[in-house]
Amino acid sequence: MPTLPAVRSCPFAPPDEYLRLRDAGRAVRVRMPTGSTAWALTRHADVRAVLGDPRFSSDRRLPQYPFFAPTQPSAHAPARISLIGMDPPEHSRARRAVVGEFTVKRLEALQPRVQQIVDEHVDRMLAGPRPVDLVEALALPVPSMVICELLGVPYADHDFFQTRSGLLLSRVPTVEERNQARGELWGYLGRLIDAKAAAEDPGDDLMGRQIARQKAESGGVDREALIALGFLLLVAGHETTANMISLGVMALLSRPDQLAALRADPSRTPAAVEEMLRIFTIAEFVNARVATEDVELAGVLIREGEGVVALSSVADHDPEVFPEPAALDFDRGARHHLAFGFGIHQCLGQNLARQELRTVFDTLIRRVPGLRLAVDPDELPYKDDAHVYGLHELPVTWD
Amino acid sequence: MRLIADTSRCVGAGQCVLTDPDLFDQDEEDGTVLVLDGEPAGERLEHAHEAVRLCPGQALSLAE
Ligand code: SF4
């Protein structure tokens, strides 16, 4: 039986093992690193179907939940689970409480600040020595600063959460190391929330507004729920966008024709962002589910209690839906990709991510026209050892 | 064609607004979808079809 997860041999395509799974059938039994088994789905239609079907649970406390790591983190995790691990109606309530913070209009209002943050980092990069690691200089600090300001977490502590969230999404650390990282972040957020809750004015930021709203509604603060929310947004806000920025810049620098096309017509950047999201589909480990009843899907009977992994990287390379899937083609109209998932758990921060990606690509193209890779593309260190695909380092230089 | 939104299923992902901001908006408080034109025609109808297809909450539908 094939074992998941597997490693990509080319950053622009899913792992070869996953492509073989696709050829083996619509639903294939696989072994997870914990030793449990699950159904792997690979077709675009099947992945959408399972993620949009309420008969599949996202509850990570279920013993059959198919984790992509050798340990079941939930066994050691704090009691409270965050949005991505909840089912309705608990999930619907919790998501509804925060979704107003991420509306398209809200984010448009945030755009000037995002641009300012990007410009400041590009200024600093241009003033410094070259070559430079773009991950350090731009890809990580930009989303980090944005999510900190949005949440109301002091950016001055960024080293602390960058290292912890990196650890949590890596497959390398031991259970103890991961638990320690989780515990430290949990404690940090708890202290922050206590301080905000005790203050006269909790602050005009996401955490502050949640605290004010909870106090107005119930007179108190659901501390654990707020920690879980802050934890999810902080970790997700760091690693995902950062990795998409570095992969996207790598893609542009190694596909000069596509880069030239964007430079000639910047109005195409949103389409380019969708295509990059599709081709890389970096965070599929979140698309695991457990059947809560017997369901016929993808041509098989999935029994109650069986795990399912919806391999979105393969679905986003389904040749029936995206012809010549490994080709980066900004004109293909890739908006129905599944890089942000599908169904009720579709990424809450997706439009923030789109906005940051657009701003970074546009700004780099405009302000650093001579940008290029400082090493051979084959030497780039990809994150084959992490739950979220990306680059450990992206050395670049400019003329 | 009538464009119908089931706000109880909406997860506020804003895919609809990105598809056509003249056709959709989001509630400021809870982010749920607001339909600005319940009987879209022409290009707007095409956008409505695309939004139905993209909506992750399967909250949108078109009916005769
Ligand atoms: S795309 Fe669907 S789920 Fe998202 S805001 Fe619009 S109606 Fe709601």
Q: What is the pLDDT of residues A76-134, one digit of tens each?
A: 455 567 888 889 998 988 888 899 999 999 999 999 999 999 999 999 999 999 999 99
pLDDT at residue B28, rounded to an integer:
87
pLDDT at residue A71, rounded to an integer:
67
Which of B9, B15, B58 has the most ligand 1 atoms within 8 A of CB, as the residue to mutate?
B15
Average pLDDT over residues A332-342: 95
**Between A and B, how many CB-CB pairs are < 8 A?**
70
In tens, the pLDDT along A122-152 reads 999 999 999 999 999 999 999 999 999 999 9
What is the pLDDT of chain A when averaged over all its residues? 92
Q: Do A102 and B29 touch (CB under 8 A)?
A: no
pLDDT band at residue A63, thresholds of 50, 70 and 90?
A: confident
Beta bridge partner(s), residue A291: A56
What is the pLDDT of chain B when averaged over all its residues? 93
CA of B44 to the centre of ligand 1 (A): 16
Which chain B residues touch A102 with a CB distance below 8 Å?
12, 14, 31
* Helix (H) or strand (E) run with residue A122 in it: helix A104-127
d(CA A99, CA B28): 9
Q: Do A104 and B26 touch (CB under 8 A)?
A: yes
CB A363 within 8 A of CB A122: yes
Cα atoms in the Cβ-side hemisphere of radius 13 Å centred on A200: 0
Q: Which of B35, B34, B60 is nearest to A100 (CA)?
A: B34
* Smallest Cα distance from A390 to chain B, Å: 24
Rounded to the nearest angstrom, the gap between the alpha carbon of residue A93 and the centroid of all alpha carbons in its chain is 22
Residues 6+ apart with CB under 8 A from A282: A240, A243, A244, A247, A339, A388, A389, A390
Alpha helical stretches, state H, A155-268: 158-168, 175-198, 206-218, 223-254, 256-264
Q: Is the CB of B34 within 6 Å of ligand 1?
A: no
Cα–Cα distances in angstroms (integers) from residue B27 to residues A1, A269, B33, in the given order: 48, 27, 6
Cα–Cα distances in angstroms (integers) from residue A29 to residues A14, A40, A110, A300, A383, in the given order: 18, 6, 45, 11, 26
In tens, the pLDDT along A9-57 reads 999 999 999 999 999 999 999 999 889 999 999 999 999 999 999 999 9
Q: Is the CB of B55 within 6 Å of ligand 1?
A: yes
Q: Is the CB of B14 within 6 Å of ligand 1?
A: yes
- Chain B: residues touching A (Cβ < 8 Å): 11-15, 17-18, 21, 25-32, 50, 53-54, 56-58
CA of A109 to the centre of ligand 1 (A): 20
Q: Do A105 and B28 touch (CB under 8 A)?
A: yes
d(CA A313, CA A19): 10
Which chain A residues touch B57 with a CB distance below 8 Å?
343-344, 346
Which chain A residues touch B21 with a CB distance below 8 Å?
104
Q: Per-residue pLDDT for A72 more than 70?
A: no
CA of A330 to the centre of ligand 1 (A): 24
Ranges of chain B with pLDDT below 70: none
Q: Is the CB of B21 within 6 Å of ligand 1?
A: no
pLDDT at residue A77, rounded to an integer:
52
Q: Whose C-alpha lies nearest to ligand 1, atom 8?
A: B10
Q: Do B12 and A341 touch (CB under 8 A)?
A: no
Q: Which of A226, A223, A202 is nearest to A94 (CA)?
A: A226
Q: Is the CB of B19 within 6 Å of ligand 1?
A: no
CB atoms within 10 A of CB A197: 18
C-alpha Rg value of chain B to the nearest Å: 10
pLDDT at residue A27, rounded to an integer:
97
In tens, the pLDDT along A245-299 reads 999 999 999 999 999 999 999 999 999 999 999 999 999 888 999 999 999 999 9
Q: Whose C-alpha lies nearest to ligand 1, atom 2?
A: B55
pLDDT at residue A80, rounded to an integer:
61
Q: Per-residue pLDDT for A317 more than 60?
A: yes
pLDDT at residue A76, rounded to an integer:
45
* Smallest Cα distance from A135 to chain B, Å: 28
Average pLDDT over residues A206-228: 92
Q: Do B28 and A100 touch (CB under 8 A)?
A: yes
What is the pTM assigned to this prediction? 0.93
Residue with tokens 């390398």, as numbered in its chain: A172
Which chain A residues touch B14 with a CB distance below 8 Å?
102-104, 350-351
Q: Per-residue pLDDT for A395 more than 50?
A: yes
Share of chain A above pLDDT 90, in %: 75
